[in-house]
Amino acid sequence: MISNKMMEQVSKSSVIRAMFEEGNRLAKLYGRENVYDFSLGNPNVEAPEEVKKAIIEIVQQEKPGAIHSYMNNSGYEDVREAVAQHLNKKFGTAFNAHNILMTVGAAGGLNVVFKTLLNPGDEVITFAPFFGEYNSYASNYDAKLVVVPPNTVDFQPNLEAFGSMITEKTKAVIVNSPNNPTGVVYSEATILKLAQILSEKQKALGTNIYLISDEPYRELAYDGVEVPYLTKYYANTIVGYSYSKSLSLPGERIGYLVMPSEMADFENFVSAANIANRILGFVNAPSLFQRVIAKCLDAQVDLEGYNRNRELLYNNLKAFGYECIKPEGAFYMFVKAPVEDDKAFAEMAKSKNILLVPGSAFGCPGYVRIAYCVAYSTIENALPGFKALIEECQGLA
Amino acid sequence: MISNKMMEQVSKSSVIRAMFEEGNRLAKLYGRENVYDFSLGNPNVEAPEEVKKAIIEIVQQEKPGAIHSYMNNSGYEDVREAVAQHLNKKFGTAFNAHNILMTVGAAGGLNVVFKTLLNPGDEVITFAPFFGEYNSYASNYDAKLVVVPPNTVDFQPNLEAFGSMITEKTKAVIVNSPNNPTGVVYSEATILKLAQILSEKQKALGTNIYLISDEPYRELAYDGVEVPYLTKYYANTIVGYSYSKSLSLPGERIGYLVMPSEMADFENFVSAANIANRILGFVNAPSLFQRVIAKCLDAQVDLEGYNRNRELLYNNLKAFGYECIKPEGAFYMFVKAPVEDDKAFAEMAKSKNILLVPGSAFGCPGYVRIAYCVAYSTIENALPGFKALIEECQGLA
């Protein structure tokens, strides 16, 4: 009785649910603290104190009507202006409130962009490995996600394969840096080359191709690595941002879109995105948290917590003989499975009470994703299991 | 460059924007306090004190990780159970957490239901006058909204016309009581008859037809009028609720769906709705406000404020000679335009600095909607204008 599309989704999701239930089963058998769950991107570093302070200040100082009412579907004008000025200061851009639309997280923002742009049959290109939800977002608008095969040397996007995959049907390209699942930051050289290919193809095909930059992990970059701001490299760029990770507020559903004035069809895009935000049922980004983030623009979570996890996990896995790139951002590590079949390896890992996500879920089989946004002790306690696993795999060879 | 569907939406929306801009123009000319804006359903009665208290208590007593993190896409288990028990106490139902899905307001909830149910080409029936957004929500899933013509005698749904409009394509019927734009509460007799027609048609056609009850105004009912709880009358009923009006929290985007266990395809529906909430980009209802409403289940806005407005406006309009039904709920009055063309009348009203929405926007031309969720003084000050308007119209006749 439910729709055909959703019936398909329900069938697929049973795999993920099975994993979740396996985690619960193991937790019951061995105790929650003895199950090493690296499968979820739920930040374990807490929201900074500024958030709590801002919430209390706002509800104590302002009238409820000024905090909880409807506003323009694009968000409070002053909050949008504050976000724009913050970006300008940080990246030397020239945005104002009109370029910003407050959204229900990055997921809400990406749906607004897809709804705004995509006709049925349109194509959106992404680079493997990629966040699996892009498939569902494209399908929501009967568009097709076209996946460029991975470059497993350094996990920068595979730009050789990319060019030939752009056609008249290509409406958008979506990139995610720092990347989920690899933790790789797309370099400036990559972005320059990507922008060049897109510009040439636009000209050759006589179309506009939008570059969508999905940036929930922007603030999570280690060792001072620079994450290029894409609107500066390519005019038809839209940025989707979220405070889910930068302020550890994933449950609050607060983020924004940046729509630069120089993009093609700008005024229609801005009007349509405002309407899409309304008719998709978001209506507006949660109002109190719009006010909260405006007071916390310079706040940040304790990055050092994630960094310690990164070092501990990376150094030990390398010492054990695992192959992987040292992540420069986000809180994921993408490790080559020591047996060919990533799903089989994730199954093996469960025997050590270790939960991982197979790379197949990100369009990149042969690897597993480790989400290290967990307690330091969880990593410490899981290390003997990781060591035993690779030894067992080597024994199999 | 934007999608065809959204280009159409942008063109249509320019009418509403024009009205909004006209309001701003008048406000500049005459001062904001001298423009009587009855066009928006933005509650003017403030959120009850319990909301503020709950917010402060939660952020002071709990760790950020317990307030702002991801949870199951359907919402916190304990919040869903609390909502279920609250409904059971109030309506004698037998729900539990499994029957509740926390949503981004009612608009988010309705999109989740439509996404879950509708294949392209499916039909959703509603009764004029109706909330115009239903058209967009149906269009999001390539379904068709079929509108039963109004019964302008008492604005109960026109059940005579209804039966013959149900076909094999009818996947759902959506009702809204207390109603926007009429303020009418659908009576128990109406609901019994509606349920009977649906049951007979299900049997005759061999299909399941879901009844969707959109209830953002449930708590806004005057003179002790009862608003029937529809799951008790018809098994295939889904309820969409919102705290936007009952707690004056429209900006916060918090509501829920009720999916009764006895509905057809229950388990698949629950799974699909959970996934739809995720892939449409809501992910989950805002987390802090899930906790807040669980602490405010018995709180309520000051209904007497709206009631005073209702009495003042209704009694005076009737005395001036306007035709209208006394609303039993919500904060809208649906008044027969004293000239045939409702759009022309709304134009005339602007000359008195009065902003109204033509009934055509709700599928019911010849009427205008007055949203009386405004300051009492706004109504007092607008009354001479309303009197002059009907006198001018009578002069035209």
CB of A255 less than 8 A from some CB of B = no
Is a pLDDT exceeding 90 seen at residue B319?
A: yes
pLDDT at A16 exceeding the cut of 70: no
Decide if B61 touches A, using CB distance below 8 A. no
Looking from the CA of B367 toward its CB, the CA atoms found within 13 Å total 25
Percent of chain B with pLDDT over 90: 92
Which of these, B391, B380, B354, lies nearest to B369 by C-alpha position?
B354
pLDDT at A283: 97
A-chain residues near B282 (CB < 8 A): 104, 107-108, 253, 281-282
Q: Are strands A332-336 and A367-371 parallel, antiparallel or unpaired?
A: antiparallel
Contact with chain A for residue B335, Cβ under 8 A: no
**What's the rounded Cα separation, in Å, for the pair B331 and B43?**
9
* Contact indicator for A122, A115 with CB cutoff of 8 Å: no
pLDDT tops 80 at residue A255 = yes
**What band does A15 get if pLDDT is binned at 50, 70 and 90?**
low
CB B237 within 8 A of CB B260: yes
How many Å apart are CA B122 and CA B207, to the nearest integer? 12
Question: Which tens digit of pLDDT belongs to each residue from B186-195?
Answer: 999 999 999 9
Tokens of B173: 């019927």
Reference B172, options B133, B145, B190, B194; nearest CA is B145
> DSSP letter at A142?
T
- Return the axis-axis angle of helices A133-140 and B266-279, rounded to nearest 10°: 100
Helix (H) or strand (E) holding A210: strand A210-214
Please check the confidence at residue A145 and state whether its pLDDT lies above 80: yes
pLDDT tens, position by position, A328-350? 999 999 999 999 999 999 999 99
CA distance A55 to chain B (A): 8
Do the Cβ atoms of A334 and A322 come closer than 8 Å?
no
Say how many CA atoms lie within 13 Å of B120 toward its Cβ: 6
Chain A touched by B58 (CB under 8 Å): no
Euclidean distance between CA atoms B198 and B208, whole angstroms: 9
Mean pLDDT of chain A: 96
What SS3 state is found at B281? coil
Q: Is residue B262 pLDDT above 70, yes or no? A: yes
Q: Do A250 and B70 touch (CB under 8 A)?
A: yes
Which residues in chain B are contacts of A6 at CB distance < 8 A?
A: 115-116, 272, 275-276
Tell me if A118 sits within 8 A of A143, measured CB to CB: yes
pLDDT value at B121 more than 80: yes
Band the pLDDT of A395: cuts 50, 70, 90.
Answer: confident
For residue B302, the model assigns a pLDDT of 94
Contact partners, residue B200, CB within 8 Å, separation at least 6: none
> Is A272–B6 a contact, with Cβ atoms under 8 angstroms apart?
yes
Q: Which among B64, B140, B283 has CB closest to A280? A: B140
Q: Give phi and psi for A123, each to the nearest 5.
A: -115, 140
Averaged pLDDT for residues B202-231: 97
Mean pLDDT across the stretch A351-380? Answer: 96
Q: Is B381 on the interface with A (CB under 8 A)?
A: no
User: Distance between CA atoms of B259 and B270, rounded to whole angstroms?
Assistant: 7
Asked whether residue A107 carries a pLDDT value surpassing 70, the answer given is yes
- Local confidence band at A396 (pLDDT 50, 70, 90 cut-offs): confident
Rounded-to-10 torsion of CA A101, A106, A110, A112? -40
| Mean pLDDT, range A136-164, rounded to an integer | 97
* All residues at 6 or more sequence positions from B35 whose CB lies less than 8 Å from its CB, including other chains: B23, B26, B27, B353, B355
Note whether A1 and B269 are within 8 A (CB): yes
pLDDT band at residue B283 using 50, 70 and 90 as cut-offs? very high
Can you give the pLDDT at residue A23?
79
Using a CB-CB cut-off of 8 Å, the residues of chain B touching A275 are: 6, 9-10, 13
* Token pair for B82: 């609390």
Alpha carbons A44 and B320: distance in angstroms, whole number: 64
Domains of chain A and CATH, by start: 4-46+301-396 (3.90.1150.10), 49-295 (3.40.640.10)
pLDDT above 80: residue B17: no
pLDDT at residue A178 tops 90: yes
Structure tokens belonging to residue B149: 């013509």
Q: Do B104 and A141 touch (CB under 8 A)?
A: no
